[in-house]
Amino acid sequence: MRRALFPGSFDPLTLGHYDIIKRGVTLFDELVIAIGINADKNYMFSLEERVSFIQKAFADEPKIKVTTYKGMTVDFCKKIDATFILRGLRNPADFEFEKAIAHTNRKLSEIETVFLLTSSGKSYISSSIVRDVIRNGGDYTGLVPETVVVK
């Protein structure tokens, strides 16, 4: 089975993430969307909200699983028997950052990283931009799936 892990904080899930997931799921038998838990990070959305946003967005996709994890991504990949990590790239800066991580992960384990370019109409969207829009009372709805709701 070709199982891939798509790790991230998803704070919140954006249309860029959604794009990568929808396209990535066609490449693998199973795609595990894994929300990393970092106690040092201050999130806008609770872990439960982030899990719910993703589960609702992909409720009709049986090949997608949603989970959380702590620790190193490569260790979690071993635990769930994932042989691929899926990552999205928006721009050259993303590539340089992700390339270093992919090389490190490959050095630590036999995991392969698969990169997909975010569709051009969504490449400007990031979770940090969405959070800024929300904090400042802007209309965030064109940046996230409809399952992302601010209370």
> Beta-carbon neighbour count of residue 86 at 10 Å?
23
Binding-site entries for ATP: 9-10, 17, 88-90, 98, 122-128
Q: Is residue 143 part of a domain?
A: no
Q: Using an 8 Å Cβ cutoff, are 35 and 47 in contact?
A: yes
Considering all CA atoms of the chain, what is the largest pairwise distance in Å, rounded to the nearest integer?
45
Residue 123, domain CATH? 3.40.50.620
The residues carrying an active-site annotation are 17, 41, 90, 127
Q: CA-CA distance, 46 to 50, in Å (whole number)?
A: 6
Residue 54: domain span: 3-135
Q: Is residue 146 part of a domain?
A: no
- CA distances (Å), origin 52, targets 15, 25, 57, 98, 107: 16, 19, 8, 27, 34
Q: Is residue 71 part of a domain?
A: yes
Q: Is residue 16 part of a domain?
A: yes
Q: Is residue 140 part of a domain?
A: no
Binding-site entries for substrate: 9, 41, 73, 87
Digit-coded pLDDT (tens) for 98-120: 999 999 999 999 899 999 999 98
Binding-site entries: 9-10, 17, 41, 73, 87-90, 98, 122-128
Q: Is residue 141 part of a domain?
A: no
Angle at 124 between CA 122 and CA 130, to 5 degrees: 95
Q: Is residue 145 part of a domain?
A: no
Digit-coded pLDDT (tens) for 10-29: 999 999 999 999 999 999 99
Q: Which residue, 61, 37, 59, 40, is CA-closest to 48?
A: 37
- Residue 32, pLDDT > 90, answer yes
- The tally of domains found in the chain comes to 1
How much is the pLDDT for 40?
A: 83
Q: Is residue 115 part of a domain?
A: yes
